[in-house]
Amino acid sequence: MKTGMFKTLKFPPFRSLFGAQVFSDLGNWLDFVALQVIVAYHWGLDESAIASVIITLGLPWVIIGPFASVFVDRLPKKKMMIVCLILRIVFVLGLFFSPNLYYLLVFVFLKGTVAALYDPARQSTIRMTVPEDQLPEAVTLSQLSVNTMKIIGPALGGGIIALFGVKSPFLFEACGFIIAIIFLISMPKLDEDSFVKHSSEKNTIEKQSSYWRELTEGIKHIARTPLLKISILLSSVAFFIIFLYDGLFVFIAQLLGFSQGNFGLLISGVGLGSVIGSLILGQWTMWRIKPIHFMSGASLLSGSLIILVGLGGMGLIQLPPYLWIIGAFFLGLLGSGEAVPYGFVLQSETPKHLMGRVSSAAMSLQTFSMLIAPAAGALIAKAVGVPAVLIGAGLATCLLGSFVLLFIVQKLKTPIVTHETEVLQKTT
pLDDT along the chain (428 residues), means of 10: 67 90 84 80 79 79 70 78 94 92 92 84 82 76 72 73 84 92 88 50 45 70 78 77 71 77 72 77 72 80 86 84 83 75 75 72 72 75 82 85 74 43 42
**Can you tell me the distance from the alpha carbon of 267 to that of 152, in angstroms, rounded to the nearest whole number?**
10
For residue 155, the surrounding DSSP H or E stretch is helix 135-164
Task: Identify the burial level of 94 via C-beta atoms within 10 angstroms of its C-beta, where 0-12 means exposed, 13-18 middle and 19 or more buried.
Answer: middle
Who's near 112: CB < 8 A, 6+ residues apart?
56, 57, 58, 59, 60, 61
What pLDDT does 90 receive? 95
pLDDT score of 358: 77
The pLDDT of residue 356: 67
Question: What is the torsional sign of CA 373, 379, 383, 385?
Answer: positive
Sketch the domain layout of the chain as residue ranges.
4-427
pTM value > 0.85: no
CA 52 to chain centre: 19
Following DSSP, what letter does each residue of 411-426 receive, concatenated? TTTSHHHHHHHHHHHH
The predicted structure's pLDDT at residue 422? 45
pLDDT at 428: 39
* pLDDT for 151: 64
Q: What is the pLDDT of residue 96?
A: 93
Burial annotation 143-181 (CB, 10 A radius, 16+ → b, else e): bbbbbbbbbbbbbbbbebbeeeebbbbbebbbebbebbb
The answer to whether domain 4-427 has CATH 1.20.1250.20 is: yes
